[in-house]
Amino acid sequence: FWQHNEWLDVVIDDRLPTFNGRLVFLHSAEHNEFWSALLEKAYAKLNGSYEALKGGSTIEAMEDFTGGVGEMYEVKKAPDNFYEILEKALKRCSMVGCSIDTSSAAESEAKTSFGLIKGHAYSVTGIDEVNYWGLQVLLIRIRNPWGQVEWNGPWSDNSPEWRLVSPLEQKRLSQAALDDGEFWMKFEDFKVHFDKVEICNLTPDALEGNTAHKWEVTIHQGSWVRGSTAGGCRNFLETFWTNPQIKLHLTEKDDGQDDCTFIAALMQKDRRKLKKLGAEMLTIGYSIYESPGRDGHLGKDFFRYHPSKARSKTYINLREVSNRFKLPPGDYILVPTTFEPHQEADFCLRIFSEKKAITEDLDENVAIDLPEPPTPTPTPQETEEEKQFRALFEQISGKDMEISAEELEYVLNAVLKKTKNIKFKNLSLISCRNIISLMDTSGNGKLEFNEFKVFWEKMKKWINIFLQFDFDKSGSMSSYELRSALKAAGYQLNNYLLQLIVLRYSDEQFQIDFDDFLNCLIRLENASRVFQALSVKNKEFINLNIGE
């Protein structure tokens, strides 16, 4: 079966659930035919249980059995070129199903006066036009999987219309008056009587090599992680920009058209399997924006001032949301999201296009921009602030002018309490140990006054950055703002590193207080300095021995 971009082998034995010697679930009228029940058992095993298969739409199974991508159309609201869409789909060997809605459970499988069955899955097997009284009439061929019970209106098997169609034309359309469940009807009548059409477009790897008209397909795997990349939909502007962003390059127009056609299908993974743990299908969707032409993750302001070019029809709690779009060639940014923020799931995004389209993750490359550490030089004139520090330092350290982590904790908390515009809890001893490990050039586990002065300059810069992103002045900042805050401090990180840092430093409310922010920056600077010291000419990687 196809699962999120890979074919999985499922191995089963041939024991099947029975009751009174008869198969309980899927079975054939022939009592010695078991392939369907064995296939069903494998599908149940893949999803965790027979119970997990209950409910859902035909399209899920069509996709899992073929690796295709589904599209759903409401016939009454279908686009003007619906006939062409169906014609193209059948040419590409896509699977096409159709059905009539029921208004109540009692109507399920009810037969209409035209011989059609409500709430029943029909398949579409052909589409063509025929010459009738000198006019071209659009026809569609439907099959009832029961193998009997057919449409009895115009163009049905024995209807008078066929008498005016040449035998040659009848042969070309394989028209035969058999009660085999298959029948032609006029496309206009089809639109009146049927309500839903489901198309499963097969991917190139599910088609045989000699089939013309193939889709190009690109696949993208990702995750929404609470606190860092689970930003919710555009209604939640403060966090929407933190969702994963995928860049889409549409380069070639469709044959004879000015636009590029593509289908974007966003699927949430493993929700049926997780059903027994209480996981429901999340409500998902996506928006597509025109790319501003610069690289890197787009920020909040971009989405505040730019409307989307296209988006999924609705946010819905289906396994997969897919839509067809026509856009002029160019670069676009697709933002897949859950409806509410802070909802976690893995997803798979597939782009099917008529011509080659290129996608790339708009994740940032890891880039560190650290100023060279200044060498402490004794300045002839000390500032007022430095004089105060020196006095405090002497008072605590004694003559050697060096302080331990415990003493640093006392100094910093004493100074920060006087800083009016920042509101936070005390700095912890562990933060002070980390500061010393970052600043201690002599390696004696203590901080000299000159080292402290260099650190204090850094500290002032970090306080300013923190205040800039502590929007409500509560003494903590949202973890979703961490990407921007770290960038301001010189650290450009990718989604994976951000997710790890948020898990490590934020609380349950996705807030980061100053002590944790400070620790995070010290850890990052320490790691970066070590990397810089050990990296040779090639700045991309380092070699370490076990001691290092």
- pTM of structure: 0.71
DSSP conformational letter for 394? H
Cα-only R_g, the chain:
33
The domains located in the chain, with CATH, are: 1-54 (no CATH), 67-214 (3.90.70.10), 229-251+265-354 (2.60.120.380), 384-534 (1.10.238.10)
Helix or strand (DSSP H, E) at 85: helix 82-91
Largest CA distance in the chain: 115
Query: Catalytic site residues?
Result: 120, 144
User: 3-state class of 345 per DSSP?
Assistant: strand
Per-residue model confidence (pLDDT) at position 335:
96
Q: Is 339 in contact with 222 (CB distance < 8 Å)?
A: no
Q: Is 298 in contact with 362 (CB distance < 8 Å)?
A: yes
CA distance 181 to 114: 14
CA distance 335 to 288: 6
* Best CA proximity match to 201, nearest among 91, 99, 359: 91
Per-residue model confidence (pLDDT) at position 128:
94
Per-residue model confidence (pLDDT) at position 105:
77
CA distance 453 to 379: 11
- 71-90 residues labelled b (16+ CB within 10 A) or e (exposed): bbbebeeeeeebbebbbbbb
Cα dihedral 208, 209, 210, 215, rounded to 10, equals 80
The edge-to-edge listing of strands for the beta sheet with 196-201 is: 69-74, 196-201, 95-99, 122-132, 135-143, 182-186
Q: What is the pLDDT along the chain (548 residues), one digit of tens a residue?
A: 998 778 999 999 999 999 998 999 988 778 889 999 999 999 999 988 998 887 667 788 888 998 888 888 999 999 899 999 999 889 888 999 999 988 887 887 889 999 999 988 899 999 999 988 889 999 999 998 777 889 999 999 889 999 888 888 888 888 777 778 899 999 999 999 999 999 998 876 555 555 556 778 888 889 999 888 999 999 999 999 999 999 999 888 877 888 888 889 999 988 777 777 777 889 999 999 999 987 788 989 999 999 999 999 888 888 889 888 999 999 999 999 999 999 999 999 999 887 778 888 877 777 777 766 656 555 567 677 777 777 877 888 777 778 888 888 888 887 777 776 666 677 888 888 888 888 877 777 888 888 888 888 888 898 899 988 888 888 888 888 888 899 999 988 888 888 899 989 888 888 898 889 988 999 898 888 888 888 876 667 888 888 87
Q: What is the 3-state secondary structure (H, E, C) of 479-545?
A: HHHHHHHHHHCCEECCHHHHHHHHHHHCCCCCEEEHHHHHHHHHHHHHHHHHHHHHCCCCCCCCCCC
CA distance 431 to 437: 10
Q: What is the token pair recorded at 511?
A: 């807030």
CA distance 214 to 88: 10
Helix or strand (DSSP H, E) at 168: helix 167-172
